Amino acid sequence: MSSRQTLLSIVFFMGAVALCGCSGLTQMQDSLTKFDDGAHAVAIAQMRFFDNVHRIGCEQQFYQRARDFASSAGAPLELGARCTAAGNPISSARLRTRQQLFDAITLYADQLQALGAPGDQALTDHLQSAATDLNQLATDRGLITATDTLPGNVETAVAALTRVVIDHRRYTDIKAAAQSQQANLALVVATLKRENVTSAIAIDSAIGTMRGAMTEALLAGREREREAVAVDVVLARAHLQAMQAYGQSGIDESVDDSVDAASPALAGAGQVARLNLALDGLVSANDALARADSGGVRAAVADLVARARAAQAFKTALTP
């Protein structure tokens, strides 16, 4: 082989190595971007669910007051009364704490994506500042209010997840970063999944009380007004149907079967099942990143994105 041929071979070999490396890096970057997108999508779907649980709790309080007003001459008509925390499955304070749990998860996912990108691996000043504030709050045990039911170790997990953003120079390896947070992520997710199930039970029971109040009112209306009450029956049905979608076996009738076709495992699943599957997908995708098996990462991240989309597709409005 001439010296020119040898030189060409070396250049060709080095180019091939560089291309392989580049392609591997691009695939990992792509997976990390999808992981981040998936985490944000799960957070949006989950917070929408919690917000609706909170609103259904408020609706129930309003119905109780409406029933009191209708059945007792002395009861005041409080159309502008504020919703109270007592008896609401997710109070405003709890809603804020759940948002902070997801902030910790999405900040962590943002940081993993940044670690996979070339150049500066720090998040923006705004996100770093958010991570620092959240970390301080969790470290000072100020995240969970006295009346909240979240276990204390959730605060430890939040502190650890946000620490990845603050100490991003320490976590230069994606595999090591994902490994270090697997247990923390799994703990937060397990807590949220449990809360989803109990929220759905609370909703089912709350809807039952409203259905009872509506049935009573409709029966009384029929005794006086006969056919005229049919319009009220239609309105009552629409109102209850929208809320039922958030119960344990609730199905969103506005979502057609094209979503199920894209994710056969979710066909016919209610919103709580969809959310819990999406949350599981988040833990599985992080676990795949922790194992750094590129084929496994791609599959797990694709699964997370599909599950998150299915959870996000659930958009039943609470009021007709």
Which residues form the interface with other proteins (CB under 8 A)?
64, 67, 71, 87, 89, 147-152, 194-195, 198, 201-202, 204-206, 208-209, 211-213, 215-217, 219-220, 223
* Closest distance of CB 222 from other proteins, Å: 8
Nearer to other proteins, 197 or 302 (CB): 197
CA distance linking residue 215 with residue 50, whole number of Å:
27
Burial class (CB in 10 A: 0-12, 13-18, 19+), 165: buried
* Closest distance of CB 269 from other proteins, Å: 20
Nearer to other proteins, 67 or 168 (CB): 67
Those residues whose C-beta lies under 8 Å from the C-beta of residue 233, and which sit 6 or more positions away, are 218
Nearer to other proteins, 149 or 294 (CB): 149
CA distance linking residue 51 with residue 57, whole number of Å:
10
* Closest distance of CB 155 from other proteins, Å: 11
* Closest distance of CB 123 from other proteins, Å: 31
Nearer to other proteins, 54 or 168 (CB): 54
* Closest distance of CB 190 from other proteins, Å: 13
Cβ proximity of 148 and 97 under 8 Å: yes
Neighbours of 310 (CB within 10 A): 27
Strands (E), the chain: none
Cβ proximity of 273 and 240 under 8 Å: no
Amino acid at 102: F
Nearer to other proteins, 208 or 320 (CB): 208
CA distance linking residue 131 with residue 44, whole number of Å:
18
Nearer to other proteins, 205 or 254 (CB): 205
Nearer to other proteins, 23 or 145 (CB): 145
* Closest distance of CB 64 from other proteins, Å: 8
* Closest distance of CB 300 from other proteins, Å: 30
Burial class (CB in 10 A: 0-12, 13-18, 19+), 180: middle
Q: Quick one: angle between helices 92-116 and 174-225, nearest 10?
A: 150
**Cα 166 to chain centroid, rounded:** 23
- Helices H / strands E in the chain, number of each: 9, 0
Structure tokens, 59: 């609706």
Nearer to other proteins, 196 or 316 (CB): 196
Query: What letter does residue 235 receive in the DSSP assignment?
Result: H
* Closest distance of CB 213 from other proteins, Å: 6
